[in-house]
């Protein structure tokens, strides 16, 4: 079994997951599987740690696949990057046990949502951040973010139509930071519901605009009603930063320790 660490720009893709009913739709999984078939001459299924939505990017997506190929695992990044589109990059490949499962074995995930508050769209980052052309109340957004930490039923922060039965998730850290005109929402948890991070982002943005109050957060959580929370923030602002397979004490590590390009850091 081979484990990959992958980064990609989500703009041109309809998410991670292959959609059999739409075979011509571009997805990250399909591009990886096509590249692996060229290398190994095998029909390989790649399993990802997170089914990122259309338009969502990643710095540290994790995927695994089984192959009978004799290609050394450390050769896969260079070989795959020579085949893949330039907006998908394999940073690392490791040999793991055959029972490794990128979803079930994950202990935590770190997502970052990017907001740009400059007066006009940023020419370099507009395709990977949500542009809000005015200042937000960062202090109240930070206080509201902290109220989302802990184990809660996040039904209000999940799409209304879902087959999920269990909506309880443990958010270990939820925080707002600012660098000049960029506002970052960092969320670390043991798992996330469909669109959960983007709905949290949309809700905190309303709080930052003064359209919701700090006191609304407990009420939204208790309501277990999607209609009570804010809108789903645009997909382009979201990035899967890291997937952990060991318990981390420092959930948001120094970004310099991430051995990959740090576009927004």
Q: Residue 259 falls within a domain, yes or no?
A: no
Q: Residue 174 falls within a domain, yes or no?
A: yes
- Judge if 41 and 91 occupy the same domain: yes
Structure tokens at 60: 């540290």
- Judge if 16 and 115 occupy the same domain: no
- Beta strands at 108-116 and 130-131: parallel, antiparallel or unpaired: parallel
Of these residues, 53, 105, 216, 244, which one is catalytic?
A: 53
Residue 134 contacts residue 152 (beta carbons within 8 Å): no
Q: Is 44 helix (H, G, I), strand (E, B) or coil?
A: coil
- Judge if 120 and 60 occupy the same domain: no
Q: What does the DSSP assignment read for 206-263?
A: HHHTTSS-TTHHHHHHHHT-GGGS-PPPPGGGEEEEEEESS--SSSS--GGGS-S--T
| Residue 164 CB coordination number (10 Å) | 10
- Judge if 57 and 156 occupy the same domain: no
Q: Which domain holds residue 54?
A: 2-95
In sequence order, what are the residues at sequence separation of 6 or more whose Cβ sits closer than 8 angstroms to the Cβ of residue 190? Answer: 107, 108, 109, 169, 170, 172
Q: Residue 208 falls within a domain, yes or no?
A: yes
Strand partners, 189: 109, 171
Number of domains composing the chain: 2
What is the chain's pLDDT, residue by residue, as a tens digit (265 residues)? 999 999 999 999 999 999 888 778 999 999 999 999 999 999 999 999 999 999 999 999 999 999 999 999 999 999 999 999 999 999 999 999 999 999 999 999 999 999 999 999 898 888 899 999 989 999 999 999 999 999 999 999 999 888 788 999 999 999 999 988 999 999 999 999 999 999 999 999 999 999 999 999 999 999 999 999 999 999 999 999 999 998 776 666 544 444 433 444 4
Q: Residue 251 falls within a domain, yes or no?
A: no
Burial class of residue 20, CB neighbours in 10 A (0-12, 13-18, 19+): exposed
Q: Residue 37 falls within a domain, yes or no?
A: yes
Q: What CATH number should be reported for the domain holding residue 181?
A: 3.30.70.660
Q: What does the DSSP assignment read for 156-179?
A: GGS-SS------EEEEEEEEEEEE
Residue 169 confidence (pLDDT): 95
- Judge if 112 and 241 occupy the same domain: yes
pTM: 0.92
Q: Residue 31 falls within a domain, yes or no?
A: yes
Q: Which of 53, 72, 95 is the last residue of a domain?
A: 95
Q: Is 87 a catalytic residue?
A: no
In sequence order, what are the residues at sequence separation of 6 or more whose Cβ sits closer than 8 angstroms to the Cβ of residue 50? Answer: 16, 58, 61, 103, 109, 240, 243
- Judge if 66 and 6 occupy the same domain: yes
Q: Residue 223 falls within a domain, yes or no?
A: yes
In sequence order, what are the residues at sequence separation of 6 or more whose Cβ sits closer than 8 angstroms to the Cβ of residue 159? Answer: 193, 194, 195, 226, 232
Q: Residue 39 falls within a domain, yes or no?
A: yes
Strand partners, 88: 8
């Amino acid at each position: 079994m081979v484990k990959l660490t992958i980064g990609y720009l989500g703009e041109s893709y309809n998410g991670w997951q292959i959609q059999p009913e739409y075979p011509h739709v571009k997805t990250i999984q399909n591009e990886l599987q096509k590249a692996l078939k060229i290398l190994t001459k095998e029909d390989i299924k790649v399993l990802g740690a997170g089914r990122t939505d259309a338009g969502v990017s990643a710095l540290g997506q994790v995927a695994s696949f089984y192959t009978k190929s004799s290609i050394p695992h450390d050769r896969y990044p260079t070989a795959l990057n020579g085949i893949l589109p330039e907006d998908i990059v394999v940073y690392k490949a490791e040999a793991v046990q055959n029972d490794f499962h990128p979803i079930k074995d994950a202990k935590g995930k770190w997502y970052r949502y990017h907001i740009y508050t400059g007066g006009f769209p940023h020419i370099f980052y507009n395709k990977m951040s949500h542009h809000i052309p005015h200042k937000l109340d960062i202090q109240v957004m930070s206080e509201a973010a902290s109220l989302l930490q802990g184990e809660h039923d996040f039904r209000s922060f999940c799409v209304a139509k879902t087959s999920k039965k269990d909506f309880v998730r443990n958010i270990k850290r939820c925080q707002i930071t600012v660098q000049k005109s960029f506002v970052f929402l960092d969320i670390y948890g043991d798992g996330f519901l469909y669109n959960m991070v983007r709905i949290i982002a949309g809700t905190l943005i309303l709080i930052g605009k003064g359209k919701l109050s700090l006191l609304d957060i407990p009420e939204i959580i208790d309501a277990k009603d999607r209609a009570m929370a804010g809108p789903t923030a645009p997909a382009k602002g979201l990035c899967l930063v890291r997937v952990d397979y060991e318990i981390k004490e420092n959930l948001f590590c120094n970004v310099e320790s991430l051995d990959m390009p740090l576009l927004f850091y």
